[in-house]
Structure 1
Amino acid sequence: MRIKGSVVVITGASSGIGRAAALRFAKEGADVVLAARRAEALADLAAECEKAGVRALAVPTDVSDVAAVDQLAERAVAVFGRIDVWLNDAAVGVYARFDDIPPEDFQRVLDVNVMGYVNGARAALRQMRRQKRGVLINVASIVAEVPMPWSSAYVVSKAAVRALSLALRTATRLDGQKHIHVCTVLPATIDTPWYQHAANYTGRRVGTIPPVYSADRVARAIVDLARSPRREVTIGTTGKTAVLQHRVAPRAVEASFGSWSDKRGVRRSRRAAPSSGNLYRPSTDPSTAAVSGGWGGRRKTTTRRLATVGALVAAGVAVRRAMS
C-alpha cells in the first residue's frame, strides 16, 4: 500500500509507540487520526504532525467505550472519507504479584487492552469491508510468548490480542476479503513512558528490563507493515531470540527469564508507594506525553545489552540441556 496520502487511525497516540507511529506516518505523508484520553497531548501531537504537511485530526477517546470508538471511526470517515490503516496501540498495565492485584484493576486492564482492541477492530473492519481494503495492525508484546511474573494482567491481555489477530485473519480470509490484512506486532522492551503510567503494587519502582529498544524502531516496523502487510513481526533481537527459545524449551526459558526479570525489573529498584497509575484517569504529567520514557532507547543500550548477554547465554544452555 502507498503510505503517502493514506488515512491512518492510531489509538494510544498520546505517548510512546502510538506517538512515534503518528510522527512516522506523518513524515511519510499520511493523514493521521489521533486517539487517546489526553486531549491536550493529542492537540500538541496533531500540530507536530501537521508540520510535515499532512492533515491531522485529534479525537479524545477512551477505547474501552465502544460508542466512543465507533464515533472515532465515524469522525475519521466524515473528515477523510476512508480508513486505510487502523493501529490498535492503547494499553494500560499493573505491576504486582497476581494475588495482590485488585480485581477491578485486573478487569480494567482487560477492558482497555483487550476490549479496546476488539472495539477498534470492529469499527475498523466495518469500514474496511465497505472499502474492500485496509490494514489493521494490533500491537501485542513478546510477553504474549514469554511471560513475565510481575505483570500477569498485561500478559493475559497481550496473549488475547495475539489470539484476536489470528481469529480476525481467519475470518477475513473466510469472507474472501483478500485486500484486508490483519497484522500483529510483538515488541520487546521499548523506551516509552508506559512504565511511569502503569499501576504499581510491588512496593518498588518498576522499570525496563534491558536491552531497551527505541519506540521509533517499532514505528518504522509498523509503517513497513502498512506498506507490505505480514502476519506477525517481532521487534528486537532479544525478543526474537526469546520467542524462538521459548518455542523449543518453554520450561527452561520461563524459569530463566522469570528469575531475571524479577531481579532486574523490581527487586533492585527503590521503594515506591502503591498507585493505580493511569488505569482510571489519564496522566496529568505533561512530561509523559512523549515518545521516550527516558529509559535509554537505542542511544544508551550498549552496557545494558552486554548485561543481557549472560542471561541469553544461560537461557541457551538451558535450552540445549532440555533438548539433550
Structure 2
Amino acid sequence: MNQKAKKVCVITGRSSGMGFSTAKRMGKKGYFLVLAAHTPSKLDKALTELTNCGIEAATCPCDISDWASVQNLAKFAASLGTVTTVLHIAGMSPHMGEAEKIMAGNAMGTIYMHEAFYPILGENGVLIDTSSISAYLTPQFIMPQKAFKLAQTDKDAFFKKMIARVNLMPKKSRAGVAYAISKYFVIQYVKMEAARFGEKGVRVLSITPGNFETPMGALEAEEASTYLKFNAIKRLGHPDEIAALYDAVSDPEMGYLTGTDIICDGGCIASGAGAFSR
C-alpha cells in the first residue's frame, strides 16, 4: 500500500482504559494508529498488545501541554499517511497535579491539538475532543466565558485569565475548579472552532464521558460514588462503551455532525444531577 494511502488515526491519552479500547476498535476498522501519551513504557505495552491483535500502529511520546511536543506529534503522524481522524482523549484529572498543570494539560492541550492538526486534516476528517461531566456539574457563574475567545487570538492572555479565575477560589479547591473550568472550555471551544474547521470540510466535536471503570476513573472513585445515585443506569460505564461512541461519531458517514458535545454518562446529567446534588 502506498504510504500516503494509509488512513491514520491519532489517539491521545493513557494507553489503557478509554484510549486503549478506542484504539482496538479503530485499528480493527483498518486505520493505522498513532498512539500518543506522556509515558513511553505504557505506550510500548499498548503497542505490543495491538500488534498481537494484527493492528498496525506506532507510538509517539507527547506532552500535550507543550506546543513543540504536539507539533512533533502532528508531523510524525502526517509522515505515516493521511491523517483523517484525531481522537483527543488525553487529560489531567484533579488528582494529577496543581491547578496550573491541570489547566495547561486540559485547556492549552486542546488548543494545541487544534492548531497542530488543523493544517493536516483534510476534507471528511474529524477531530474529537474529550470533556467531563464536571463541566455540567459545576455552577456556570464561575466560568470565565468572556476569556474563552482569547484562545483563538492571544493564548498567553487566555491562560492568565483562566488561572486568575481559579485563584479566586480557596486553595484546597483550586485543582478541582481548574479541572471543571478547563473541561467546560473544551465544550465551548468546539463550538467556536466548528466554522473554521468546517471551511475545510472537517468536523470538530466533543464527547463528555461520565464515570467509567478506567485507571483515571479509579482516581475519582469517591466523587463518582456521590453522583452514581443520580444515574438512570446504576453502574459505572465500561471502557468499550465509550470507545464505541468515539468509533461511531468519527465515522465519515456521520458527516453532518459537528460543533456539539455528546454526553455519555448513564443518564446522570439528564436525571438532574448538579453542583449541589449531594
Please indicate the TM-score interval, normalised by the length of the shorter structure.
Answer: 0.7 to 0.9
Aligned partner of 1:111 among 100, 104, 109: 104
SS of alignment partner, residue 237 of structure 1: coil
In our comparison, the structure showing a higher alpha carbon Rg is 1
Q: Is the 8 A contact 1:26 1:50 kept in 2?
A: no
SS of alignment partner, residue 76 of structure 1: helix
Gaps of 5+ in 2: 1-5, 140-172, 229-234
How many pairs align?
227
Aligned-residue Cα RMSD (Å) equals 2.5
The aligned runs of 1:62-211 (5 Å cut-off) are 62-78=63-79, 80-94=80-94, 105-128=98-121, 131-147=122-138, 151-173=176-198, 176-177=199-200, 179-196=201-218, 206=222, 208-209=224-225, 210=228, 211=235
1:195, CA displacement in angstroms?
Answer: 4.2
Alignment-derived partner of residue 254 in structure 1: 275
1:132, CA displacement in angstroms?
Answer: 3.3
The CA distance in 2 between the partners of 1:108 and 1:140, in whole Å, is: 16
1:167, CA displacement in angstroms?
Answer: 0.8
The aligned runs of 1:7-18 (5 Å cut-off) are 7-18=8-19
From the superposition, tell whether residues 35 and 125 of structure 1 become closer, same or farther in structure 2 (CA, over 3 Å): same
Letter in 2 for 1:181: R
The CA distance in 1 between the partners of 2:28 and 2:36, in whole Å, is: 18
The CA distance in 1 between the partners of 2:191 and 2:115, in whole Å, is: 14
Q: Percent identity?
A: 24
SS of alignment partner, residue 92 of structure 2: coil
1:196-250 CA-partner distances (Å, limit 9, x unpaired): 557xxxxxx84632331111111100000111253432113323514xx47xxxx
1:41, CA displacement in angstroms?
Answer: 1.0
- Larger mean CA deviation between 146-155 and 56-65 belongs to 146-155
Q: Is the 8 A contact 1:195 1:206 kept in 2?
A: no
1:142, CA displacement in angstroms?
Answer: 2.0
SS of alignment partner, residue 42 of structure 1: helix
The CA distance in 2 between the partners of 1:55 and 1:70, in whole Å, is: 22
1:294-323 CA-partner distances (Å, limit 9, x unpaired): xxxxxxxxxxxxxxxxxxxxxxxxxxxxxx
The CA distance in 1 between the partners of 2:69 and 2:21, in whole Å, is: 23
The CA distance in 2 between the partners of 1:222 and 1:195, in whole Å, is: 18
Q: Is the 8 A contact 2:134 2:180 kept in 1?
A: yes
The CA distance in 2 between the partners of 1:13 and 1:58, in whole Å, is: 12
The CA distance in 2 between the partners of 1:21 and 1:184, in whole Å, is: 15
The CA distance in 1 between the partners of 2:33 and 2:127, in whole Å, is: 14
1:54, CA displacement in angstroms?
Answer: 2.8
Q: Is the 8 A contact 1:13 1:22 kept in 2?
A: no
SS of alignment partner, residue 208 of structure 2: strand
1:127, CA displacement in angstroms?
Answer: 0.5
TM-score normalized by structure 2? 0.74
Q: Given the alignment of the two structures, is residue 233 of structure 1 paired with residue 265 of structure 2, yes or no?
A: no
Gaps of 5+ in 1: 96-100, 199-204, 247-252, 260-324
